[in-house]
Amino acid sequence: MSQPAYRTMGQQFGRRSWAEPWKIKMVEPLHVPTRTQREVALRDAGYNSFLLRSEDVYIDLLTDSGTSAMSDRQWAGIMLGDEAYAGSRNFYHLEEAVQRSYGYRHLIPTHQGRGAEHLISRALIRPGQYVPGNMYFTTTRLHQELAGGTFVDVIIDEAHDPADLHPFKGNVDLEKLEALIARVGAEKIAYLSLAGTVNMAGGQPVSLANVRAVRALCNRHGIRIYLDATRLVENAFFIQEREEGYQDTPIAAIVKEFCGYTDGAWMSAKKDHLVNIGGWLAVNDPELFDALRNLVVIYEGLHTYGGMAGRDMEALAIGIAESMQDEHVRARVGQVRYLGDLLLAWDIPIVQPVGGHAIFLDAKRFYPHIPQGQFPAQALTAALYLDSGVRAMERGIVSAGRDPETGDHRRPALELTRLTIPRRVYTQAHMDVAAESVKAVYDARSAMRGLRMVYEPKYLRFFQARFEPLS
Ligand SMILES: Cc1ncc(COP(=O)(O)O)c(C=O)c1O
């Protein structure tokens, strides 16, 4: 039988097509800046995509954080905000939603994820202690360091290789963890900092088998496990897809089981939970809860709002339920995969397997002629913006910052440019435009030069650093 001249994506992949489980009710017009406008904007922003004005951006793939489109139910929830200073009814809705979906006993709301990271780091880390984790995250590690801890990476080696196809590249390496315990002693370990999925590794998941084994090991040594649950829903999707025996288990049940192996979690609700602002911290231990409830009033706000308005808590409570729906997660990860599949078909080097929230371009293979000290992933981010107005972000040497002991650049094995897909915001056509821009920049790669850093802030430098092109 002859093939039709035009084929849908589903036909190209030998399956029936599926679509997002929503339709669009309101739109926000976009402006496409001209090439000259982009040149000026990029120079004014010091070649740092965080310093661009959003009005100068066409397709914004900077981050999936706080950039989701809320549903009509969530917007309706905004109108039901109870803005009482204390005891807002929206707080109790949120508490119930977290308890129901994640299973933890006690909830502390925070303004966003780093507020929760600050509180848990302060409450649990004593100066001189170690915090092992499955690869660092920028704000998480900084709060652990500011509390006097030292982060130790115990992720499996495969996570540092962008081409390795391990299905659970977020897994903890039990031998690395055991070696750390043997070297420093369990009492010097504040807790295990476990992320599901691992952002800096490319949005890679952790298997249930791994978290179960980690739990058993930590139990033997009396070590607690706290989870960065920011993208746990996406992690659960990969478990459902790849882990034997879970194909018929709903995402919501997988999330609950995963959390059952941990002692608590912190959350940047700006991701999985489909809201523009918000976060939380949830724990089982009543004494720790007491300490956190006391700390939150110093740094965030009263323990029944923690920096959020009542309306934000209502939208968040609704977003939690929406985020757990299998159809939603399939469409969300499916869109990320669509972009990844296009780039892979064109032999463009990206992190594989494609993760849950973003496509990560491998800048080391993209620009092998640019040394890491000349910031190839930052340069690639700038080149993409210049080509099309697509905004990405650096996840390499700039994001890794400096070693607090030696002051030298940390030089991560992964030098990546992240194209992050906001949830429920862009269409397949936007993905096509982004993919074609990556291809155009790839085709022109040999002429590209690196950058030099001309301004470097002390903390989390990737947000505010400035660069100039090398001639
Ligand atoms: C894995 C992970 N943890 C924590 C955070 C920090 O959360 P927030 O940006 O809400 O402070 C982020 C944000 O990007 C994240 O991706």
62-83 pLDDT, tens digit per residue, is 999 999 999 999 999 999 999 9
Q: Is the CB of 204 under 6 A from ligand 1?
A: no
Strands (E), 139-235: 150-153, 192-195, 225-228
Which of 169, 395, 418, 424 does the annotation list as catalytic?
395
Q: Is the CB of 262 under 6 A from ligand 1?
A: no
Q: Is the CB of 67 under 6 A from ligand 1?
A: no
Please work out, in degrees rounded to the nearest 5, the angle formed at the alpha carbon of residue 145 by the alpha carbons of 141 and 148.
150
Sign of CA dihedral 92, 98, 100, 104: negative
Whether residue 376 contacts residue 367, with contact meaning beta carbons closer than 8 Å, is answered with: yes
Residue 395 annotated as catalytic: yes
Which of 85, 105, 157, 403 does the annotation list as catalytic?
85
Question: What pLDDT sits at residue 400?
Answer: 97
Residue 332 annotated as catalytic: no
Name the residue at shortest CA distance from atom 9 of ligand 1.
113
What is the CA(134)–ligand 1 centre distance, in A?
A: 15
Q: Is the pLDDT of residue 2 over 80?
A: no
Q: Is the pLDDT of residue 1 over 70?
A: no
Query: Given the DSSP bridges, would you call strands 225-228 and 192-195 parallel, antiparallel or unpaired?
Result: parallel
Query: Picking from 11-15, 38-42, 136-140, which range would have the lowest pLDDT averaged per residue?
Result: 11-15
90-126 pLDDT, tens digit per residue, is 999 999 999 999 999 999 999 999 999 999 999 999 9
> What is the average pLDDT across 148-155?
98
- When pLDDT is cut at 50, 70 and 90, the band that residue 13 belongs to is confident
Measuring CA to CA, which residue among 371, 334, 341, 325 is closest to residue 356?
Answer: 334
231-264 pLDDT, tens digit per residue, is 999 999 999 999 999 999 999 999 999 999 999 9
pTM summary value:
0.97
284-306 pLDDT, tens digit per residue, is 999 999 999 999 999 999 999 99
174-224 pLDDT, tens digit per residue, is 999 999 999 999 999 999 999 999 999 999 999 999 999 999 999 999 999
Q: Is the pLDDT of residue 10 over 90?
A: no
- The number of beta carbons lying within 10 Å of the beta carbon of residue 260 is 14
Residue 116 CA, closest ligand 1 atom number: 11
CA distance 281 to 268: 9
Q: Is the CB of 462 under 6 A from ligand 1?
A: no
Q: Is the CB of 270 under 6 A from ligand 1?
A: yes
396-428 pLDDT, tens digit per residue, is 999 999 998 999 999 999 999 999 999 999 999
Q: Give the containing element (helix H, strand E) for 110.
A: strand 106-110
Test site for ligand 1: of 50, 110, 114, most ligand atoms within 8 A of the Cβ: 114
**Percent with pLDDT over 70 in the chain:** 99
Residue 462 annotated as catalytic: yes
423-448 pLDDT, tens digit per residue, is 999 999 999 999 999 999 999 999 99
Q: How far is CA 74 from CA 21, 77, 310, 323, in A?
A: 16, 5, 13, 12
Question: What pLDDT sits at residue 187?
Answer: 98
